[in-house]
Protein backbone atom coordinates (compact mmCIF):
# COMPACT_ATOMS: atom_id res chain seq x y z
CA UNK A 1 0.00 0.00 0.00
CA UNK A 2 1.72 3.11 -1.25
CA UNK A 3 1.15 6.62 0.03
CA UNK A 4 2.21 8.25 -3.23
CA UNK A 5 -1.37 9.22 -4.27
CA UNK A 6 -1.64 11.27 -1.07
CA UNK A 7 1.54 13.31 -1.63
CA UNK A 8 -0.21 16.09 -3.61
CA UNK A 9 -2.92 16.43 -0.96
CA UNK A 10 -0.36 16.57 1.85
CA UNK A 11 1.62 19.10 -0.17
CA UNK A 12 -1.48 21.25 -0.63
CA UNK A 13 -2.21 21.18 3.11
CA UNK A 14 1.41 22.07 3.86
CA UNK A 15 1.27 24.94 1.37
CA UNK A 16 -1.98 26.25 2.89
CA UNK A 17 -0.59 26.02 6.44
CA UNK A 18 2.64 27.75 5.36
CA UNK A 19 0.69 30.55 3.68
CA UNK A 20 -1.48 31.02 6.79
CA UNK A 21 1.54 31.19 9.10
CA UNK A 22 3.37 33.54 6.73
CA UNK A 23 0.33 35.83 6.53
CA UNK A 24 0.02 36.02 10.32
CA UNK A 25 3.73 36.73 10.74
CA UNK A 26 3.77 39.34 7.95
CA UNK A 27 0.74 41.12 9.42
CA UNK A 28 2.44 41.24 12.79
CA UNK A 29 5.57 42.90 11.37
CA UNK A 30 3.96 45.10 8.70
CA UNK A 31 0.85 46.24 10.57
CA UNK A 32 0.46 49.45 12.60
CA UNK A 33 1.74 49.37 16.16
CA UNK A 34 0.02 52.46 17.59
CA UNK A 35 -3.26 51.45 19.13
CA UNK A 36 -5.68 53.71 20.94
CA UNK A 37 -9.10 53.28 22.49
CA UNK A 38 -10.99 54.28 19.33
CA UNK A 39 -9.18 51.68 17.19
CA UNK A 40 -9.85 48.88 19.66
CA UNK A 41 -13.63 49.48 19.84
CA UNK A 42 -16.18 47.81 17.60
CA UNK A 43 -16.99 49.79 14.46
CA UNK A 44 -20.66 50.17 13.55
CA UNK A 45 -20.79 52.76 10.75
CA UNK A 46 -20.19 55.68 13.08
CA UNK A 47 -23.11 54.81 15.36
CA UNK A 48 -22.39 54.06 18.99
CA UNK A 49 -22.74 50.30 19.54
CA UNK A 50 -25.73 49.31 21.62
CA UNK A 51 -26.39 45.99 23.33
CA UNK A 52 -30.04 45.91 22.18
CA UNK A 53 -31.31 46.13 18.60
CA UNK A 54 -32.74 49.49 17.60
CA UNK A 55 -36.43 49.52 18.43
CA UNK A 56 -36.06 46.82 21.08
CA UNK A 57 -37.22 43.99 18.81
CA UNK A 58 -35.57 40.66 18.15
CA UNK A 59 -32.98 40.17 15.43
CA UNK A 60 -34.64 38.76 12.27
CA UNK A 61 -34.22 35.02 11.91
CA UNK A 62 -34.40 35.36 8.11
CA UNK A 63 -30.62 35.67 7.89
CA UNK A 64 -30.13 32.35 9.67
CA UNK A 65 -32.72 30.60 7.49
CA UNK A 66 -30.93 31.83 4.38
CA UNK A 67 -27.62 30.56 5.73
CA UNK A 68 -29.11 27.17 6.54
CA UNK A 69 -30.65 26.95 3.07
CA UNK A 70 -27.25 27.66 1.54
CA UNK A 71 -25.62 24.98 3.70
CA UNK A 72 -28.23 22.36 2.80
CA UNK A 73 -27.81 22.86 -0.93
CA UNK A 74 -24.05 23.26 -0.70
CA UNK A 75 -23.79 19.89 1.05
CA UNK A 76 -26.03 18.43 -1.62
CA UNK A 77 -23.64 19.55 -4.34
CA UNK A 78 -20.68 18.17 -2.40
CA UNK A 79 -22.31 14.74 -2.41
CA UNK A 80 -23.75 14.89 -5.93
CA UNK A 81 -20.52 15.75 -7.75
CA UNK A 82 -18.52 12.60 -6.84
CA UNK A 83 -21.62 10.49 -7.44
CA UNK A 84 -22.02 11.95 -10.94
CA UNK A 85 -18.34 11.33 -11.72
CA UNK A 86 -18.53 7.65 -10.71
CA UNK A 87 -22.09 7.00 -11.89
CA UNK A 88 -21.08 4.51 -14.60
CA UNK A 89 -19.30 2.16 -12.16
CA UNK A 90 -21.93 2.22 -9.40
CA UNK A 91 -24.50 -0.57 -9.19
CA UNK A 92 -28.21 -0.02 -8.73
CA UNK A 93 -27.67 0.45 -4.98
CA UNK A 94 -25.73 3.68 -5.66
CA UNK A 95 -28.56 5.00 -7.79
CA UNK A 96 -31.21 4.17 -5.17
CA UNK A 97 -29.08 5.68 -2.38
CA UNK A 98 -28.75 8.91 -4.35
CA UNK A 99 -32.51 8.99 -5.02
CA UNK A 100 -33.13 8.69 -1.26
CA UNK A 101 -30.62 11.48 -0.63
CA UNK A 102 -32.20 13.76 -3.25
CA UNK A 103 -35.61 12.99 -1.74
CA UNK A 104 -34.38 14.06 1.71
CA UNK A 105 -32.97 17.27 0.29
CA UNK A 106 -36.24 17.92 -1.52
CA UNK A 107 -38.09 17.54 1.79
CA UNK A 108 -35.77 20.18 3.30
CA UNK A 109 -36.37 22.43 0.28
CA UNK A 110 -40.14 22.03 0.54
CA UNK A 111 -40.01 22.76 4.28
CA UNK A 112 -37.99 25.93 3.67
CA UNK A 113 -40.35 27.01 0.90
CA UNK A 114 -43.40 26.35 3.07
CA UNK A 115 -41.94 28.33 5.97
CA UNK A 116 -41.35 31.33 3.69
CA UNK A 117 -37.58 31.15 3.62
CA UNK A 118 -37.52 31.84 -0.12
CA UNK A 119 -39.72 34.95 0.06
CA UNK A 120 -37.73 38.20 -0.06
CA UNK A 121 -40.00 40.73 1.65
Residue 93 placed within a domain: yes
The answer as to whether 92 is a domain residue is yes
Q: Is residue 47 part of a domain?
A: no
Give the residue ranges of the chain where pLDDT is below 70. Answer: 1, 42-60, 120-121
Q: Which domain holds residue 110?
A: 55-120
pLDDT digits (tens, 9 = 90+) for 40-69: 776 666 666 566 656 656 666 777 777 877
In the chain, the number of structural domains is 1
This prediction's pTM = 0.45
In a domain, 77, yes or no: yes
Please answer whether residues 18 and 11 qualify as being in contact, where contact means their C-beta atoms are separated by less than 8 angstroms: no
Q: Which pLDDT score, from 0 to 100, does residue 53 have?
A: 59
In a domain, 83, yes or no: yes
Question: Residue 59: its pLDDT value, please?
Answer: 63
**Do the domain assignments include residue 59?**
yes
Dihedral angle of Cα 78, 83, 86, 91, to the nearest 10 degrees: 160
pLDDT for the residue numbered 44 = 63
Q: State the pLDDT at residue 105.
A: 85
Distance, in Å, from the CA atom of 90 to the CA atom of 43, rounded to the nearest integer, reads 53
Amino acid sequence: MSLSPYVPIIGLFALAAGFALFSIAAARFAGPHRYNKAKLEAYECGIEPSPQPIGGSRFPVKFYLTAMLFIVFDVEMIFLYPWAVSFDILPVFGFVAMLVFIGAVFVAYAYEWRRGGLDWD
